[in-house]
Amino acid sequence: MPNKNINVLFLGDICSFLGREAAKECIERYKEKKKIDFIIANGENATHGNGLSFNHYQELLSYGINVVTNGNHFLNVRDALNPNLNFEYSLRPINLDPSLPGVGSKVFKCGDIPIKVSNLLGRVYINMSLSNPFYDFEKVLEEDKDIIHIVDFHGEATAEKRCFAEYFDGRITAFIGTHTHVQTNDPKILNKGTFFLSDVGMNGAYDSVLGVEKEGSITRTMKGMPAPFNIARTGVKLSNGVILKIDTVTKRVVKFELINDIYQ
Ligand SMILES: [Fe+2]
């Protein structure tokens, strides 16, 4: 009997209203067509580009997303610190202060198939107090061996991402980078079998600077002056993601396809 495969859709950083709309349209387009079994999305920009409110977390789940990951904006919406809100299907980066609420790695269920998802923050060009993601992730790997394991590594630098993926090559199913909002054209299977992608990209405003209105971004960058940091709310939507076909016996990615679509 052939091995059973599952299809996992991973959506890049969902940036504000247009990003949530783009994610919804992407799921509607591919859910049946590609027989998607499980959906992971980075939602750290889902609320006005700056965090994840409980309402927006619930909205993303209502689209069929199974797990919402986070990043450097995790603490920018106070809902994240509210112990009365149940973010059961959300992760926050492992290497934040351990006293903070939430978990960074967890086993979820896709039917009867366990899927472990982990979320970490890179330390290069990320100005936060973070513990070493390599050492922290070693501890995560001591549990739940021989399981499908997908990692969202939220980081700025492609070299740091590649180093992390190479170091853990063969011990995880897939390494998917997030945070830069730019999809990289470097998906590959590393030597020991782990799928690697530097950055999966963004769901958000197509005609923008990484989801932000262009005018303020140009002023800040060109003149070094304070300028409005407004998230673009109208216009064409970009949807970036990747679909992974995973063999549930070998726990390896056997086929992959980048998603890079435009919605009017
Ligand atoms: Fe980020």
Cβ atoms < 10 Å from Cβ of 116: 20
72 CA → ligand 1 middle, Å: 5
Tokens standing for 242? Answer: 């990747």
63 CA → ligand 1 middle, Å: 22
Domain boundaries, the chain: 5-263
Does residue 73 carry a catalytic annotation?
A: yes
73 CA → ligand 1 middle, Å: 6
Inter-CA distances, 20 with 57, 68, 140, 204, 233, Å: 10, 12, 30, 7, 11
Nearest alpha carbon to residue 258 among 205, 200, 192: 200
pLDDT tens track, the chain, 264 positions: 556 999 999 999 999 999 999 999 999 999 999 999 999 999 999 999 999 999 999 999 999 999 999 999 999 999 999 989 999 999 999 999 999 999 999 999 999 999 999 999 999 999 999 999 999 999 999 998 899 999 999 999 999 999 999 999 999 999 999 999 999 999 999 999 999 999 999 999 999 999 999 999 999 999 999 998 899 889 999 999 999 999 999 999 999 999 999 999
Question: From the candidates 73, 149, 154, 179, which is the catalytic residue?
Answer: 73
Nearest alpha carbon to residue 116 among 263, 205, 8, 18: 8
Tokens standing for 170? Answer: 């063969």
DSSP one-letter code for 89? T
Q: What is the pLDDT of residue 136?
A: 98
What CATH number does domain 5-263 carry, 3.60.21.10, 1.20.200.10, 3.20.20.210, 3.40.50.620? 3.60.21.10
94 CA → ligand 1 middle, Å: 15
Q: What is the pLDDT of residue 82?
A: 93
Residues present in the chain in total: 264
Handedness of CA 183, 260, 210, 207 (dihedral sign): positive
Inter-CA distances, 213 with 13, 105, 133, 160, 222, Å: 17, 34, 32, 28, 15
38-42 and 252-263 strand pairing = unpaired
Nearest alpha carbon to residue 259 among 11, 14, 6, 70: 11
DSSP one-letter code for 206? S
Torsion of the alpha carbons at 258, 9, 126 and 116, rounded to the nearest 10: -140
* DSSP per-residue letters across 139-185: HHHTSS-SSEEEEEEE-S-HHHHHHHHHHTTTTSSEEEEESSSS--S
Q: What is the pLDDT of residue 228?
A: 87
Give the integer Cα–Cα distance in Å for 187 and 175. 10
129 CA → ligand 1 middle, Å: 15
